[in-house]
Chains A and B, each alone.
Chain A
């Protein structure tokens, strides 16, 4: 009997100490595992359009002259302060001193000149060259000052400089950033296990206030069911963009988790190959717009999370114009337009769907809606890499569904070689005008006109604005609730008890 008591006492002691240890471990927790659905193709934000790149490295590994916070405000980053000339053409950036890149080399004005010149050069591989289009000249004045001269006043130049595509890189490491990113941020790239995870560690030489987190792991979990399991089991602490909206209610009622529904810049569209027959016919595109029922897609694919849109513009933006009524859901009208276009019995086409559930499920619903007016879609599910290659790069598609998560990206419609291949000189003129207009009122008017043209031309099927469904452990604070830019900024994240 005594023996048994002794044994039990020992057990109790072990249990007790285990509880104490786990408690103290929680108090001092400085590691975060963030789950993400899509794996970045590489890790150089200055050389790729994939949002997943910025979602790992923005603000964590790389920094720009300015940075954007979760409320879309422009804050100083590598530029401590700046002066703008009265004509709006000259920006003088005062750089922070004592900043070092992760490989130990010092940051100074030459790095800024190098980075901006590289991004705007003729053979630049930057995915957002438009951000730098207004720059006429970049000059270093001493090691801590850079003067940027613009061709035309650009209202959101400071915001542009806060994008992931405008981060400052070191000339020595610029070419190897894809596999081994070297920036100035508070986290250092540790390693990338392809197909599984990306690990970041602490930058002990960081110039600014060191984040509470000492390390972070971005875990690639493409399967929604696995994402649910990973959160439930604690294998992932957070999902900034949770892929299974049907589980939101379940997590909401679970006291272990915080569920935040925020806004993103993600216009989810039924991208249409505007040069491909029969989609080059405006009546066919209008018919598709009439055949689509956005609300049904939001309810069916996103379980209600999302806002219908009528054009390529984020509804929470002040310049947004509600154009959802341009081509209201009306299958009868759609059929009539198809008949006028020469397809009284409809036609067959394909729709290529990338992995995210908004695309796969949304695609099934779109196919059912279009089938009702006679357009028979063959559904072709593709992997992310295949999508980037076949659809985005080689434009080998009829229809696809994807979310464009860049902020203020209406300018993509001016690019004739962009994957949906829209060409409209009138639209381009408005955007050109917009780029040289600084007066907010005039800018809003131009943005409104641009939105109206896209809606009228039914360039793509405008489905809905992607909601940001963030789910994370309730002890985590500081994660972004909205995504004004593509990012998982971990600098303000901490564990509390």
Chain B
């Protein structure tokens, strides 16, 4: 991408409303998460039981939970945890899924059949089921939820890579590259990958949102992040029996999840619109 393309990209982007909103929401989450590494209003492992279930105040901006922990601090750390799990899970899924999909598209034949049927098989297991299985064998925990969400993402990336790569393989410049004597691997890296990277970026953004949701779901069920590390899903499940007298304890982490997933989805949709050359001309 040269400089003029980059500036055109930004010009297009800033006119795309959902992209801008998505970017802002995602940035807020990223910033909050990063900030939590250096500073939180209160340490999250600090239990202050005499001050439990306090309403929002100047001291505790969003109040305290049933152990007297500062809800705002917990949300901040929770943001970082969700992101971390999601990043590793999507990284795991795409690092295995993308090469698999590329291999299938390059080799075709029985290799493609094997890879894609394996993907169908993996795709049939929802992340939740995989997580339940993993936690039954190895016990619940963050690493297992990363693995579960990661495994679920392998076929997603393999499919989209194969699909987009196949359409590129039909193009003339690939034929030209072959005639010039380039090997399969070289072609894949130099010609195929740069042409499908925008599709993959969009997919990563969308899967990232799903990863956040999956992490919250697993933690809600007690299969994901374990106490004392706060996580949004766990905060939600703990707040359930307190809905009648401290609804904010459930509403706040719920809102955090909704805004984050919404932001990432808007960002992904916007990116797709902007990066797709056919759509960008229409707008």
Contacts and interface: CB of A to CB of B under 8 A. Distances in A.
A158 interface: no
A89 interface: no
Nearest to A357: B241
B38 interface: no
B240 A300 contact: no
A246 B66 contact: yes
A224 B49 contact: no
A365 B68 CA distance: 11
Interface in A295-327: 296, 299-300
B247 interface: no
Contacts of B140: 381
A368 interface: yes
Contact of B245 (A250, A367, A368): A250
A371 interface: yes
Given A379-B226, A381-B226, A300 B45 contact: no
A127 interface: no
Q: Is chain B's interface secondary structure helix, strand, loop, or mixed overall? A: loop
A49 B50 CA distance: 36
Contacts of B46: 368
B110 interface: no
Interface string A242-264: 00101101100000000000000
A367 B47 CA distance: 10
Interface residues of A, number: 20
Of B52, B237, B244, the most chain A CB neighbours within 10 A belong to B244
Contacts of A371: 45
B172 to A, nearest CB: 59
A249 B245 CA distance: 10
Contact of B228 (A224, A299, A367): A367
Contacts of B237: 225
A20 interface: no
B126 interface: no
A412 B101 CA distance: 61
Interface in A371-389: 371, 379-381
Contacts of B240: 224-225, 228
A228 B241 contact: yes
A197 B279 CA distance: 57
Nearest to A223: B240
A250 B222 contact: no
Chain A interface SS verdict (over half): helix
B241 A365 contact: no
A224 B139 CA distance: 22
Contact of A379 (B228, B242, B244, B245): B228
A54 interface: no
B227 interface: yes
A365 B227 contact: no
A406 interface: no
Interface string A11-46: 000000000000000000000000000000000000
A173 B46 CA distance: 55
Interface residues of B, number: 21
Contacts of A244: 241
A368 B228 contact: yes
A367 B52 CA distance: 18
A364 interface: yes
Nearest to B45: A368
Given A300-B66, A364-B227, A368-B228, A247 B241 contact: yes
Given A364-B227, A368-B228, A246 B242 contact: yes
A399 to B, nearest CB: 15
A314 to B, nearest CB: 25
Nearest to B222: A381
Contacts of B244: 228, 247, 250
B67 interface: yes
Given A244-B241, A300-B67, A380-B139, A365 B49 contact: yes
Contact of A300 (B47, B139, B241, B245): B47
Interface in B225-258: 226-228, 237, 240-242, 244-245
Nearest to A299: B49
Contacts of B227: 364, 367, 379
Contacts of A367: 227-228
B73 to A, nearest CB: 15
A163 to B, nearest CB: 33
A364 B67 contact: yes
A353 to B, nearest CB: 9
B226 A246 contact: no
Given A224-B241, A244-B241, A379-B228, A365 B66 contact: no
A296 B140 CA distance: 27
Interface in A216-255: 224-225, 228, 244, 246-247, 249-250
B47 A368 contact: yes
A365 B45 CA distance: 10
8 contacts: A225-B240, A225-B241, A246-B241, A247-B244, A250-B245, A364-B227, A368-B228, A381-B140
Task: State the 4 A-B residue pairs at the shortest beta-carbon distance, nearest first.
Answer: A225-B240, A300-B49, A244-B241, A368-B47
Interface of B: 45-47, 49-50, 52, 66-68, 139-140, 222, 226-228, 237, 240-242, 244-245
Given A299-B49, A379-B227, 4 more contacts: A228-B241, A364-B67, A364-B227, A381-B226
